[in-house]
Amino acid sequence: MKKALVVLIVMVCLAAGIWGIFMLRGSAGKAGGHVENDNGNTGVAADVTESGTTTEEQTADSQETTEVTEEEKPSLVDETLAGMTLHEKVCQMMFVTPEELTGEDGVTVAGDATRQALENYPVGGIVYFAKNLESQDQVKEMIDNSQKYSSIGLFVATDEEGGVVNRLMDTVGTTYIGSMYYYKDDGDETAYENAYTIANDMSALGFNLDFAPVADVWSNPDNTVIGERAYSDDYAQAAELVGNAVKGFNDGGVMCTLKHFPGHGDTAEDSHYSSAYVHRTKEEIMADEMQPFRSGIEAGAEFVMVGHLIVPDIDEVPATLSYKIATGILREELKFEGVAITDSFEMESIADNYSVDDAVVMSVKAGMDMILQPKDMASAVNSIEQAVADGELSEDRIDESVRRILTLKESRGLLK
């Protein structure tokens, strides 16, 4: 009995010794532990896994994998675009009045009608005119509610050039700025400050886009539609002033729009009421009319508004429907990467000569990104959708424009 007890005690002691040795070696092998190398030196040891790799190597591999995954993660624009239906994409290309959106007259409130309309037609932008503007508080509330109802943030715009074309100064009492033409000899700083003031007032009310500055040059004294709305009657001076105005608008908190491409200042006709012709050669236009547009684009203008101008030396159709002008010159020659928007499709130069369906499809084919004030929004949307279904337009072409729109919206915090 005593002999068996002794044997048992010896076995227990041996097991305890073996376990202690094992634990000691395991402790020395941990990261940061000290072990004796073959040469007798002591150093820091790294954990070695069954596969033969160290824990440091595995950690590095894990971090590298994480970094690659982050790089490959789709952008907010990609995610948004991928989740949109064709209908939603086409609606983003529409820039409409609140009346066209809701079917109501004289809209001054964004309520249930606006909410329901934006659910059915999630348009890309809303443009307001004097009849929509009653007081600063009313404008703020109307715009704020519209933004809340929209699944993708809206471009909210008006025409606030100063002087003869203003929507806010004469209605809700923002700072009055006179016609730009009368400041032309006051220099760059005045052009910047005037634009900054206009933009700052607009931004405070909730607007994020101004359909200004006018980049046309009053080169034809008989021109009545542009006239004193231009910054100058000299191409070089207009270019210098427009570039500084673009910086002023941006610093003041709103995006801006160069208009009316490729230049409405030499026309005798008013495109609001009839076809308007630019009787200049392409070479002359590129040398002269393009100066303010180039300057504005280089200064960072986010939008270019293309006018319903026929340039016989380039094309027989209005610029808004012309691939040679809207894509060939604006995109390819001037390298504009922002959003190209049409002038109003309610203007008689388009409305009297083309059906809504034909005009909107032709404009998208030409390279336009957004349609301003289609005469019948539902018909315009349907006609583009049908053109895609029929193979007349590709969905890739639609995606091209919507990507530009969403990219700009993301940069302004309008993607939710």
Residues with a catalytic annotation lie at 272, 343
**Which position has the token pair 């130069």?**
349
**Which position has the token pair 């109307």?**
142
> What's phi and psi for 342, nearest 5 deg?
-75, 160
Tell me the pairing of strands 42-44 and 34-36.
antiparallel
Q: Locate all alpha helices (DSSP H) within 150-255, ordered by sequence.
A: 188-205, 235-252
Number of Cβ atoms within 10 Å of the Cβ of 63: 10
Alpha-carbon torsion angle 224, 285, 183, 297, nearest 10: 120
Which residues have a Cβ under 8 Å from the Cβ of 220 and sit 6 or more positions away?
265, 266, 267, 268
Number of Cβ atoms within 10 Å of the Cβ of 155: 25
- Tokens found for residue 62: 């894990």
- Tokens found for residue 382: 């349907």
Residue 390 to residue 235: CA distance in whole angstroms: 45
DSSP three-state, residue 112: helix
Q: Which H or E element spans position 407? A: helix 395-411
Maximum alpha-carbon separation in the chain: 129
**Which position has the token pair 């009421």?**
273
Residue 30 to residue 26: CA distance in whole angstroms: 7
